[in-house]
Structure 1
Amino acid sequence: MLLSRQSIATPFVICVCILGVGLIQFPQLQKLINSQKSASLEILEKEIKSEKLRLNFLQKIPSFGYDNFIADLVYLNFSQYFGDDEVRDKTGYSLSPEYFEVILERDPRFLAAYRSLSVSTSLYAGMPERAIALAEKGLKSLSPSVPEKSYYVWRSKGIDELLFLGNAKAAQQSFATAANWASNFSDPESQMIANNSQKTAEFLSRNPNSKYAQISTWAMVLNYQVDERTQKRAIRAIEALGGKVITTPEGTHKIVFPPKD
């Protein structure tokens, strides 16, 4: 009986410790955010090193069935980190992939995390290789129907491959797979994704340097629910490729392609 109680108590104590780590960090993070406004770069860099150590710890500790809880907690931490524009302007976004190492290791089916991975790690941290590697690892745990709309992961991977690595062949395969996965569903959103992804793959098969494909891919970034900075970056890229972005009264974006690819 004593052995049984001990076997139950041990994981319970560890889980309480995990919960404690999560709960105590919220007031600490808020205090840290407030103090960072006037902190020197040297202090900020020390705090980044400390945060990286904490993320490494969270990546290695046993979860005893609380993987999703840890993933959600770290994603909240990431949102605070990524959203602090003033401090990120000083330190950059180098910790972005470290957050997703924990998040996607704990919950590879966390669909929203893949979109944030692409924007934060490829676009802002300038590490598309890390983003693609994490996506490829996570895709091993996904299928066309689990989780729902998992075809978006292939789309994000294709975006990174085309726009940030210039690997048109890999991007073509990713968009073709996204189209294949999305075609399994009859809802309007999935059918639209299947059609757009297939067109992008076809553009790339005919012309690996296709401006149409690149504009279409930046349009995908633009139409994600991203921050204003990301939208402006996408619009600048589309215009540099000869396209034009028109914002409709409803707040959506219409893309006008150049006369020639």
Structure 2
Amino acid sequence: MLLSRQAFATPFVICMCILGVGLIQFPQLQKLINSNQSASLETLDKEIKAENIRLNFLKKTPTFGYNNFIADLVYLNFIQYFGDDQVRDKTGYSLSPEYFEIILERDPRFLAAYRSLSISTSLYAGMPERAIALAEKGLKSLSPSVPEKSYYVWRYKGVDELLFLGNAKAAEQSFAMAANWASKFSDPESQMIAHTSQKTAEFLSRNPNSKYAQIATWAIILNNQVDERTQKRAIREIEALGGKVLTTPEGTHKIVFPPKD
């Protein structure tokens, strides 16, 4: 009886330690959020280094079956980190891929995380290689139907490859895979994604420098429920490529492509 109790207690205590470490992150991140313009860069750097140490610890800590719980907890931490614009303007977004290394290792089927990975790590942290590598690793655990709408991961990967690496060939293949996975479903959203992804892949196959393909890819970002800063960046990029962005009465964006590709 004593042995069985000890066998139960050991993983339980370790799991509680994991939970404790996770919860400790909240007040630390709250300190970052409450930091204002008067906070010194040196102080902020120390807090970022401390957060990095905690993330590295979590990467190496066993979860004993609580993978999804840890992934959710770290994702909440990431949202706090990413959303603190004042501090991020001073320190940058270099910790973004560190959060997602934990999140997607623990739960590679966490679909919403891939969208945040692409925006935070490629667009803001300037590390598209890390974002693509994490997406590629996660895709090994996905299938067309698991999780639902997993074809979006191929789209996010294609966005990063085209816009931030300039790798049109890899992007063409990613959009073609998105079209293939989405085409297996008959609902309107999946069919729309299949059609637009296939069109983007075709543009890139004919012309690797296609402005149409680049505009369509920035439109993916624009219409992806992103923050205002990201929307403004996407609109600027679309207009620089010769396109126009119109706002409909319903509040959605309509893209007008240039006369020639």
* 1:91-110 deviations in Å (ceiling 9; x for gaps): 11111101101111111110
Q: Structure 1 residue 220 and structure 2 residue 250: aligned?
A: no
* 1:65-94 deviations in Å (ceiling 9; x for gaps): 101111000100000000000000001111
Give the conservation status (yes or no) of the 8 Å contact 2:139–2:153.
yes
Give the conservation status (yes or no) of the 8 Å contact 1:132–1:160.
yes
The amino acid of 1:6's aligned partner reads Q
**Counterpart of 1:209?**
209
Give the conservation status (yes or no) of the 8 Å contact 1:36–1:44.
no
TM-score between the two structures when normalised by the length of structure 1? 0.98
**Counterpart of 1:53?**
53
**Counterpart of 1:163?**
163
**Counterpart of 1:28?**
28
**Counterpart of 1:65?**
65
Matches within 5 A, 1:78-227: 78-227=78-227
Unaligned runs of 5+ in 2: none
- Aligned-partner SS, 2:221: helix
* Partner Cα separation in structure 1 for residue 214 and residue 246 of structure 2: 17
How many residues are paired up?
Answer: 261
TM-score between the two structures when normalised by the length of structure 2? 0.98
Q: What's the offset of the Cα at 1:36?
A: 5.1
* Partner Cα separation in structure 2 for residue 186 and residue 59 of structure 1: 39
* Partner Cα separation in structure 2 for residue 183 and residue 108 of structure 1: 22
RMSD after superposition: 1.0
* Partner Cα separation in structure 2 for residue 38 and residue 82 of structure 1: 19
- Aligned-partner SS, 1:97: helix
Give the conservation status (yes or no) of the 8 Å contact 1:161–1:167.
yes
Unaligned runs of 5+ in 1: none
**Counterpart of 1:5?**
5
Give the conservation status (yes or no) of the 8 Å contact 1:176–1:198.
yes
* Partner Cα separation in structure 2 for residue 39 and residue 122 of structure 1: 27
Give the conservation status (yes or no) of the 8 Å contact 2:32–2:87.
no
Does 234-243 or 33-42 show the bigger shift? 33-42
- Aligned-partner SS, 2:93: coil
Give the conservation status (yes or no) of the 8 Å contact 1:161–1:168.
yes
Does 96-105 or 13-22 show the bigger shift? 13-22
Q: What's the offset of the Cα at 1:32?
A: 3.7
* Partner Cα separation in structure 1 for residue 179 and residue 209 of structure 2: 20
Does 107-116 or 15-24 show the bigger shift? 15-24
* Partner Cα separation in structure 2 for residue 17 and residue 91 of structure 1: 29
* Partner Cα separation in structure 2 for residue 186 and residue 201 of structure 1: 20
* Partner Cα separation in structure 1 for residue 202 and residue 32 of structure 2: 48
* Partner Cα separation in structure 2 for residue 102 and residue 140 of structure 1: 16
* Partner Cα separation in structure 2 for residue 128 and residue 177 of structure 1: 19
- Aligned-partner SS, 1:255: strand
- Aligned-partner SS, 2:254: strand
- Aligned-partner SS, 1:238: helix
- Aligned-partner SS, 2:72: helix
* 1:83-139 deviations in Å (ceiling 9; x for gaps): 000000001111110110111111111000000000000000000000000000000
Percent identity among equivalent residues? 88
* Partner Cα separation in structure 1 for residue 103 and residue 185 of structure 2: 27
* Partner Cα separation in structure 2 for residue 154 and residue 121 of structure 1: 16
